[in-house]
Chain A
Amino acid sequence: MISQIIYKVPEGKVIRIEMEFSEVIKSIKISGDFFLHPEEAIERIEEALAGTALEEKSIFDAIMEVAELEKIKFFGIDAASLTRAILLCGGKQ
């Protein structure tokens, strides 16, 4: 399936998810008006999510693994809100 959603993080910024998925995420594009340092790490997150099961813990863990490796600082989003946006896009919430 292919789906896209816009999710406004409470007290935060806007996340737009475009995703191709079945039980796993096949490919994903994350965009929006948030801040994330270093910026290029967004691509590492997208790569890590491709092939991840469309399920809360797997998604959250995949994001956190990259976040720790790349020492990511999030503003206006975080791993939990990004996970929520992805689950919403996948019809899981």
Chain B
Amino acid sequence: MNFRLINTGYKDAATNMGIDEAIMTMNSRGMVAPTLRFFGWKPAAISIGYFQSLEKEVDLQKCREFGIDYVRRITGGGAVFHDKELTYSFVIPEKDVPEDIMESYDLICGAIIKGLRKLGIDAKYAPLNDIVVNGKKVSGNAQTRRMGVVLQHGTILLDVDVDKMFSLLKVPDEKIRDKMIANVKERVTGIHKTYEETAAALKKGFEEQFNAEFAEENLTEEELELAEFIKAEKFETMEWNHKR
């Protein structure tokens, strides 16, 4: 099987989510190969899971104050503050991964773990959707399946600013905010590598896991156009971002 590797660099939240969905759509139409994409977020952004309530999870006023983007993902899971990280997305036809969702997480997270080990990081898969180092989460992942295609995207934390993250999120009870912050500081950590070296290592990890070369390419004209369309029609709209 042929795979593409595309590094789109730093983009705003709606563009990033538009590109993921555009790649997924074009792969489902058989117009592009299965694709590994690396990206970052500028400005920093919060993404929330498909099922989360935007107003209940995110302090939108604080986001505006600090110039932080926000977007609802097409994948489930929790709120993520995308700041100092390498984000990846991986698009592959459903028929080319295990039908069982847990097994396919294991396969794709396995590629990331192989990559992290190349950096000397002893990473392990923590089902359903985390990768941990010494028991601390360094990566969260989320998957959806649509149009016969699997999209898994996730974050590799390079560094974490838990205080800043919590200043942007709402907590169920203000009295326990400090306790929650302390708890997350105990459980989450960055890998302290650069975007570039992490991307290079992950590429190798995916190549090993899928026993294939990942050819470095750019998004096609059609993908770019579709990504812009999806961004404007979906990820920038109140209707989508505030839908739950």
Contacts and interface: CB of A to CB of B under 8 A. Distances in A.
Contacts of B128: 35, 75-76
B153 to A, nearest CB: 13
Interface stretch (A37-45, A52-60, A62-70, A84-92): A37-45
Interface stretch (B35-43, B71-79, B191-199): B71-79
Contact of A37 (B52, B79, B101): B101
Contacts, number: 55
A6 B171 CA distance: 11
Contact of B77 (A16, A29, A30, A35): A35
Contacts of A35: 75-77, 128-129, 142-143
B145 A31 contact: no
Contacts of B50: 39
Interface residues of A, number: 19
Given A31-B51, A36-B51, A42-B51, A16 B56 contact: yes
Q: By DSSP majority rule, is chain B's interface helix, strand, loop, or mixed?
A: loop
Interface of A: 6, 13-14, 16, 29-39, 42, 73, 75-76
Contacts of B117: none
Q: By DSSP majority rule, is chain A's interface helix, strand, loop, or mixed?
A: strand
B235 to A, nearest CB: 15
A75 B145 contact: no
Given A39-B51, A76-B128, A31 B77 contact: no
A39 B240 CA distance: 14
B101 A75 contact: yes
B244 interface: yes
19 contacts: A13-B78, A16-B53, A31-B244, A32-B49, A32-B52, A33-B77, A34-B51, A34-B77, A35-B75, A35-B76, A36-B51, A36-B76, A37-B101, A37-B144, A38-B145, A39-B74, A39-B76, A42-B51, A75-B76
B172 interface: yes
Q: Which 8 residue pairs are nearest across A and B when measured between Cβ atoms?
A: A33-B78, A35-B76, A31-B53, A39-B50, A31-B244, A33-B49, A75-B128, A31-B51
